[in-house]
Amino acid sequence: MPMISQVKTRTVTDPDEAGRRIDNLLISILKKVPRGLIYRLIRQGQVRINGCRVKQDYRLQVGDQIRIPPIRSREDSPIKIADNFLENLERSIIFEDDNLICFNKPEGVAVHGGSSLRYGLIEGIRVSRSSTKFELAHRIDRETSGCLLVCKNRKTLIAVQSEFKNRNVRKVYEFYSVGNWNSRNKSVHQKLKRYKTAWGERRVKIDVLGQNARTDFRVLDKAPSATRVEAVLHTGRTHQIRVHSKHCGNPIIGDRKYGNLEGNCQRLCLHATRLSLEIEGLKYKFDAPKSKELEDIWGKLILGARLD
């Protein structure tokens, strides 16, 4: 049975919480509450800071008093995450220091929980490490594998997000596409716009009214009916590589949103291979090896075999 919580008051005392948006804080502490409900409570003024209504993008300050209204939910019961999920997360770590973690995120693992998922990678690592301070620095699709950064403190999160915003992060992907590309190197500059399908699914299309987007493609290898391609992102739009690759006439193998399933391939053949950035003078460069599954898929494509 869902339970109704009591009014709660929380005082911001941790410097790591200063500067954090109120919506992000509530999402992290009210783990069992749907995001839509949290945003509705903020809009209705039921969440208050120092007795005043605020917007969802209000940034907290040390000393702020947060009023959290009664909520009908299961928020008081902890998220139960399978041990093997947590073990797989720990095994997928390719780098860790006092400030951040880089994961080689497996395909099929969501970066966070949502309406249809109770938890994702970020909820898992918070449980595994018994810390709510961990935050995603960026996102990649559930179907995409590879480099994903998680920050351990607010200071690092702000620094990393600033690097992403200023386009100082180098992001390199590798994918397998349908057919042979008509040139070895290609730079695509096509604006992208998000929209929803009639059934409510989020999609992206090329549109002159969209946001600027640039992807540089380089052919790495060719198979009889497929191409192995490297993609360098200069912008980080939703589904950017998938839509730009389709625009070139070569959708990504296994792309159920934009592409050709090519022999019923059961996974999206897109991998975040490398990521590099600089934080306060310290240079980071991460390299995430492709899984054996992806390597085997390319081996079959080279031989011209079906991907059943």
Residues tagged active-site: 141
Neighbours of 43 (CB within 10 A): 12
Q: What is the 3-state secondary structure (H, E, C) of 18-50?
A: CCCEHHHHHHHHCCCCCHHHHHHHHHCCCCEEC
Q: Which of 228, 226, 207 lies closest to 218 in space, CA to CA?
A: 228
Residues 169-195 as b/e (b if ≥16 CB within 10 A, e otherwise) read: bebbbbbbbbbebeeeebebebbbbee
Amino acid code (one letter) for 214: R
Cα–Cα distance measured from residue 107 to residue 175, given in angstroms and rounded to the nearest whole number: 13
Cα–Cα distance measured from residue 222 to residue 291, given in angstroms and rounded to the nearest whole number: 19
Q: Which of 267, 248, 243 lies closest to 256 in space, CA to CA?
A: 267
